[in-house]
């Protein structure tokens, strides 16, 4: 139990407090948010990921965190992340304890994505929105923190230009890369 609380305390010391969300400016980019879901599964801390379906419009077949664009009905970006998590995975807001957020990430698709960090009560029955999500899986934090499990690589961006980003090794037949990998490393580094 002490180790469980220790990790939550480390994360809270690393992230920004949720009341600072309104200070974020989008610099002309469209605001969006994702939930980085921490779960305690069989005594081991893990991050929960989704593999996006090939039916959706955006990010087909990619590994991601649940999330999406801010809508006018969202009070703030934490509301966006929680709404999207409920829509994609059926996780009610009262099963998520928000710990804070990390700096926003601009994307090549003109979004400014703010990662909201939350602990999900686990185990929990998921109701997957199959048009958006093909699969849900988790990866242990210890594996994600191990720098031998990822590398920087060049790749061709959507606009045809060359870019450089993080690619993790395959885990459970899934490859974590790009902005989701960058967000992951931003969170797990030092915790």
Q: In the predicted model, what is the mean pLDDT of the chain?
A: 91
The structure tokens listed for 124 are 């929990």
Q: Quick check: is 131 in a domain?
A: yes
Q: Quick check: is 116 in a domain?
A: yes
Average pLDDT in the 168-184 region? Answer: 96
Please give the tally of structural domains in the chain: 1
Q: Which domain holds residue 9?
A: 2-141
Q: Quick check: is 6 in a domain?
A: yes
Q: Tell which wins on pLDDT, 1 or 149.
A: 149
Q: Quick check: is 105 in a domain?
A: yes
Q: Quick check: is 165 in a domain?
A: no
Q: Quick check: is 149 in a domain?
A: no
| pLDDT band for position 147 (cuts 50, 70, 90) | very high
105: closest CA among 51, 46, 29, 21?
29
CATH number (domain holding residue 59)? 3.90.79.10
pLDDT of residue 56: 55
């Amino acid at each position: 139990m002490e180790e469980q609380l220790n990790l939550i305390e480390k994360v809270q010391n690393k992230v920004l407090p949720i009341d600072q969300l309104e200070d974020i400016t989008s610099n002309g980019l469209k605001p969006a948010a994702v939930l980085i879901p921490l779960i305690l599964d069989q005594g081991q801390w893990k991050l929960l990921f989704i593999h996006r379906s090939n039916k959706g419009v955006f990010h087909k077949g990619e590994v991601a965190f649940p999330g999406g664009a801010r809508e006018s009905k969202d009070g703030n970006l934490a509301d966006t992340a929680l709404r999207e998590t409920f829509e994609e995975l059926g996780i009610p807001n009262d099963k998520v304890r928000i710990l804070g957020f990390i700096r926003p990430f601009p994307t090549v698709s003109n979004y400014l994505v703010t990662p909201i960090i939350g602990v999900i009560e686990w185990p929990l029955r998921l109701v997957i929105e199959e048009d958006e999500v093909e699969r849900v899986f988790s990866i242990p934090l210890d594996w994600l923190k191990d720098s031998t499990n990822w590398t920087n690589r060049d790749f061709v961006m959507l606009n045809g230009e060359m870019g450089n980003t993080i690619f993790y090794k395959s885990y459970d037949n899934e490859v974590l890369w790009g902005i989701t990998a960058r967000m992951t490393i931003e969170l797990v580094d030092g915790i």
